[in-house]
Amino acid sequence: MSHQTYELKAEARERVGKGSARAIRRNGKIPAVIYGDKDAPLSITLPYKEVFMKIHAGGFLTTIATIDVDGKKIQVLPKDYQLDPVRDFLMHVDFLRIGKGTVVTVNVPVHFTNEEAAPGIKRGGVLNIVRHEVEFTCPATAIPDFIEVDLTGLNIGDSVHISAVKLPEGVQPTITDRDFTIATVAAPAGLKSEESEAAEAEEDEEKEGEGEE
């Protein structure tokens, strides 16, 4: 986990509700809630611009942050945020308190390496990515930035399953009932049409042979 942790200064808010939230946003701030770790939910306000920039910098939902609430520092992991569907305006953020041994569910990006060492791709095959992200459970303090899929040796028609990926200690996929596919190497469109033409020709020959009998 290489994401840089960061700190945000917040203020506790006593009033909640739509009217209060609108007033907060008019003042350049964003309403948020910190919950979890057996403590009561804590309603806060944060500087809108800082949070918006953190979200758009990437890795927001997989990076632990420290929120300074009127001098009290709380370690958190962003769990969700809401955007206005029309204006793409940030409306609200939920944070999960991080305590000792906290386990979280997160979506982790998939990175692919060694495309040049995949014979199928060299022949013009297309890397068909089934999952750009995979959902895992893991310790909150050990969230991987990404998982790495090695494409070395893959031919056209080959698939990469989660069992082929080396995962860090304590990181487990949430899907446990099957060895799901992450990517495949598909035949290029030209090769597909050639193959289908060849298959059709074979079928025609078989039909002709059957007619001669």
189-209 pLDDT, tens digit per residue, is 766 545 545 555 555 555 555
Whole-model pTM: value is 0.76
Cβ-Cβ contacts under 8 Å for 22 (sequence gap 6 or more) = none
Domains and CATH numbers, the chain: 6-99 (2.40.240.10), 105-193 (2.170.120.20)
Distance CA 80, CA 36 (A): 14
Distance CA 35, CA 55 (A): 19
Question: Which of 161-165, 166-170, 193-197 shows the lowest per-residue confidence on average (mean pLDDT)?
Answer: 193-197
**Which pLDDT tens digit goes with each residue over 120-132?**
999 999 999 999 9
**Bridge-partner residues for 90, per DSSP?**
83
Which comes out higher in pLDDT, residue 83 or 1?
Answer: 83
Is pLDDT at 4 greater than 80 in this prediction?
Answer: no
DSSP conformational letter for 38: T
DSSP conformational letter for 170: T
Q: Which two three-digit tokens encode residue 177?
A: 């009932």
